[in-house]
Each structure stands twice: as structure tokens, then as C-alpha cells.
Amino acid sequence: MKIVPLQMISSRTQLLKISALSVVFCASVVGGNVSLRYLPVSFNQAVGATTPFFTALFAFLITLKKEAWVTYAALVPVVAGVVIASGGEPSFNLFGFIMCISATAARAFKSVLQGILLTSEGEKLNSMNLMLYMSPIAVLVLLPATLSMEAGVLDAIILLSRKHKSMWFLLFVNSSMAYSANLTNFLVTKHTSALTLQVLGNAKGAVAVVISIIIFRNPVTAVGIGGYSLTVMGVVLYGEAKRRFK
């Protein structure tokens, strides 16, 4: 539609980075979905709140980008809150926790990698072009994974579409929202940083925790509530540290 100029992939290295981004993105989504089979949404979101910690770690290891020490200090309560919440979680499951923390680390690595592709002088792509090249690779990764992990999924889709006429419309709306979310994700990364993106995402996580407890009524202990509160406090401190120590 010529909303933005079409950019061509300039090198094999750039293609490898886009492919790696697609694979990591798929791993983060699949890992997060699998963890929801074993962990309540509230605890899943609390673990996801540690994404800024992993993002800061990967950003330093890959790009050698350093933040002010106060910014790193503000991440301590974010991680500590999840550790506390884990100890007070009555529905804790080790496998679910491993999948959740793996998905969290993958999400952080994805943020750093997409930041490189969106801002690096030699390989800079705009957000829509990155989505254009990343999406078909993600499909190629997810399709065989879906067919192997979810036997009978095609029959289930056909059955649901016959039973519910709005099935395809809902899938279209869901896909459109996912595209918009990822495009916005890229734009925020480009204009701020990968770390800021993940800390902003924690605000969503805090809301999801409260809503999930209300809807699913999963049990939460006083220790768990204390851990969640500490994580949210860390998010607020991080925002203040970023504002004062730019």
C-alpha cells in the first residue's frame, strides 16, 4: 500500500538476524502458552515481570549498552518480588515455571535483537518491513510445531468453523490485533529502548494479575500478594530512575 518504502534485505547476516528473531519470537509465544497449562495467569504475569532484568542482561552482553547504576538497582525489587511470589504460590509447578522463565528470557532476547534490526545503521529496517520479513519465517516455524504438538488441530478448526459461523471473523480480528501489537512493539523499541519496552509491559502484567484473580479466582496467599506488590513497586522505581538519569 506504499505506506512506507519497501526495503530489501541487504545481506545474509541481516537475513540470519531476522530468522533468529522469528524463531525466538515463536519460542517465547509457545513457551508462554505451554506455561499457562500449569500455572495460573497471575503467577505467569508475575514471572513475566522479570523480563526487564533479562533485557538489561542481554543488552549488555550483546550491545555492551550500559544503564545508570540506579536503573539497574530499580530492577532488584522487580526480580525479588517474583522470587517471593514463587515461594508463596499455592499452584506452583516446576515444569510450568521453567517454561515460563524460558519464555520470559526469549522475550527479552527478542526485544534486544529487534532493537538492533530497527536502529543499527548498517541494517536498519522500519517496523513494517521487519514485520513483512519476519512473519513468513514465523509461519514456517510454527506450522510444523503446531501439527506435531497439537494433533488433530486442523479437524478441530474445521469443526469449530462449522459450529460457529463467526470463527473466521474472530481469527481475523485476533490476527489484526496481534499485528498491531507487534507493530507498536517495534515502534516503541525504535523510539525508546528494548529495556523500556519491557518495563512498560509490566504495567500490563500488573493489570492482568488483578483481572485474572477476579475472573479465575485462583488462590493467592499474602506472601504472593506481597511479591506482586514489590514487583510493581520496582516497575515504578525503574520509570522514575529512567526519567531522572537519562
Residue 182 in this model has a pLDDT that exceeds 90: no
Residue 4 included in any domain: no
37 within some domain: yes
In a domain, 6, yes or no: no
165 phi and psi angles, rounded to 5 deg? -65, -20
pLDDT in tens, 34-82: 998 898 877 787 777 777 778 888 888 888 777 777 877 877 887 777 6
Average pLDDT, the chain: 81
Total domain count for the chain?
1
Query: What pLDDT is recorded for position 195?
Result: 65
Is 3 part of any domain?
Answer: no
Q: Is 176 inside a domain boundary? A: yes
Check pLDDT > 90 for residue 137.
Answer: yes
pLDDT at 209 over 70: no
Domain coverage including residue 69 = 12-244
Mean pLDDT of 221-236: 76
Q: State yes or no: pLDDT of 208 exceeds 70.
A: no
Rank 84-88, 112-116, 136-140, 158-162 by mean pLDDT and report only the highest.
136-140
Indicate whether 41 belongs to any domain: yes
Exposure string over 201-213, b if 16+ CB within 10 A, otherwise e: bbeebbebbeebb
Q: Which pTM value belongs to this model?
A: 0.70
Q: Is the dihedral of CA 221, 227, 231, 234 positive or negative?
A: positive
Does 5 map to a domain?
Answer: no
> Does the residue 52 lie in any domain?
yes
DSSP the chain: --SS-------HHHHHHHHHHHHHHHHHHHHHHHHTTTS-HHHHHHHHTTHHHHHHHHHHHHH-----HHHHHHHHHHHHHHHHHHHT-TT--HHHHHHHHHHHHHHHHHHHHHHHHHH-TTT---HHHHHHHHHHHHHHHHHHHHHHHSTTHHHHHHHHHHH-TTHHHHHHHHHHHHHHHHHHHHHHHHHS-HHHHHHHHHHHHHHHHHHHHHHH-----HHHHHHHHHHHHHHHHHHHHHHH--
